[in-house]
């Protein structure tokens, strides 16, 4: 059988083939253009979606940060929500709180404890060397009453004579300690000897006053440091542990403030009612 030979290409056939190819190319280009537009549109939608979600994420992060800041401020405010003292502005910035552990060892330990000796007396005196302070007028209380007048310093700077409560309490503790050791501190023992009707020292009830002031101070400040108990080998009863952190004022900053305002009370005071100088100038203990 004879094989079929391809038909010769005529102008009409060639034109039809070219037109078909053109249509195919056009369809292909149009398809590509549509695909490109679809891809471009999809990319735009993706970017918009990403931008919107990023914006929402930033809003959430901002909200969380604001919540955190608000919470921190609230807690800080609540923790420091103490009533202001009348002289608060004068002492602002003096107290820096920090954690400290007490020296809780027994026996003769530390410069403030043990048998009477010069270095022990010097240590106690050093704490109290800034006892009397120059307070700005008017001293944050009424200037006077019919039977009392605020004590003013008699130098050019003037101001009111005063001290801080914690210094008064330390003075009380030192006096009680010295009273317990009459052989070492005979002047204190003589000054605060018991009266005929009471075992409590009757010199203006000073020691009794000191003990009660210390009681009130402890209840006032309510140190909430936690002391646990433990069993110890050889001990019959549980033993409480004093070695625990306490919230304390930084002593160095307080001392610096005291040194800036200390006035030594000698030669600057005179009683306005009788014209006399204080007894500590004529009869020091």
Cα(120)–Cα(126) distance, integer angstroms: 10
What are 49's two structure tokens?
A: 């979606």
Together in a domain, 143 and 222: yes
* Of 28, 58, 81, the domain-final residue: 81
Spatial CB neighbours of 191, under 8 Å, sequence gap ≥ 6? 203, 285
Together in a domain, 122 and 77: no
269 pLDDT higher than 90: yes
Over residues 110-126, mean pLDDT: 93
Together in a domain, 97 and 66: no
Cα(163)–Cα(86) distance, integer angstroms: 14
Task: Give the per-residue pLDDT at 13.
Answer: 44
Q: What is the DSSP letter of 262?
A: B
Q: Which of 71-85, 116-130, 188-202 comes out lowest in average pLDDT?
A: 71-85
Together in a domain, 226 and 266: yes
> How many structural domains comprise the chain?
2
Together in a domain, 76 and 94: no
Of 276, 250, 253, 269, nearest to 132 (Cα)? 269
Q: Is residue 7 part of a domain?
A: no
Q: Is residue 28 part of a domain?
A: no
Together in a domain, 265 and 179: yes
Spatial CB neighbours of 187, under 8 Å, sequence gap ≥ 6? 285
Of 102, 127, 90, nearest to 248 (Cα)? 102
Range of the domain at 165: 88-282
Q: Is residue 265 part of a domain?
A: yes
Together in a domain, 188 and 71: no
- Examine residue 138 and say whether the peptide bond preceding it is cis (omega within 30 degrees of 0): yes
Together in a domain, 150 and 188: yes
Q: Is residue 16 part of a domain?
A: no
Together in a domain, 178 and 52: no
pTM for the whole thing?
Answer: 0.68
Together in a domain, 73 and 211: no
Together in a domain, 71 and 147: no
* Of 81, 105, 137, the domain-final residue: 81
Cα(132)–Cα(264) distance, integer angstroms: 7
Given the DSSP bridges, would you call strands 245-249 and 97-101 parallel, antiparallel or unpaired? Answer: antiparallel
236 pLDDT higher than 80: yes
Together in a domain, 97 and 69: no
Q: Is residue 130 part of a domain?
A: yes
| Contact indicator for 158, 268 with CB cutoff of 8 Å | no
pLDDT category at 62 given cuts 50, 70, 90 is low
pLDDT category at 205 given cuts 50, 70, 90 is confident
């Amino acid at each position: 059988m004879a094989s079929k030979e391809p038909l010769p290409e005529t102008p009409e056939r060639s034109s039809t083939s070219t037109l078909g190819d053109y249509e195919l190319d056009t369809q292909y280009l149009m398809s590509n253009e549509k695909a490109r537009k679809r891809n471009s549109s999809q990319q735009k939608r993706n970017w918009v979606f990403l931008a919107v979600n990023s914006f929402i994420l930033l809003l959430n992060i901002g909200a969380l940060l604001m919540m955190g800041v608000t919470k921190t401020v609230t807690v800080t405010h609540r923790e420091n929500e103490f009533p202001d003292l009348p002289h608060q502005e004068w002492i602002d910035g003096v107290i820096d709180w920090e954690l400290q552990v007490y020296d809780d060892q027994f026996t003769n330990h530390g410069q403030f404890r043990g048998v009477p000796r010069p270095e022990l007396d010097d240590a106690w005196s050093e704490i109290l060397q800034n006892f009397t302070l120059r307070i700005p007028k008017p001293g944050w209380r009424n200037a006077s009453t019919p039977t009392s007048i605020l004590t003013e310093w008699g130098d050019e700077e003037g101001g009111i004579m005063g001290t801080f409560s914690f210094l008064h309490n330390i003075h009380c503790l030192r006096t009680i300690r010295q009273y317990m050791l009459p052989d070492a501190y005979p002047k204190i023992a003589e000054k605060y000897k018991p009266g005929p009707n009471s075992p409590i020292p009757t010199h203006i009830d000073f020691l009794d006053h000191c003990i009660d002031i210390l009681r009130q101070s402890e209840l006032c400040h309510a140190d909430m440091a936690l002391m646990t108990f433990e069993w110890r080998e050889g001990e019959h009863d549980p033993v409480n542990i004093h070695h625990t952190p306490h919230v304390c004022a930084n002593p160095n900053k307080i001392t610096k403030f005291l040194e800036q305002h200390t006035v030594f009370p000698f030669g600057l005071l005179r009683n306005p009612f009788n014209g006399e100088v204080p007894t500590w100038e004529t009869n020091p203990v």
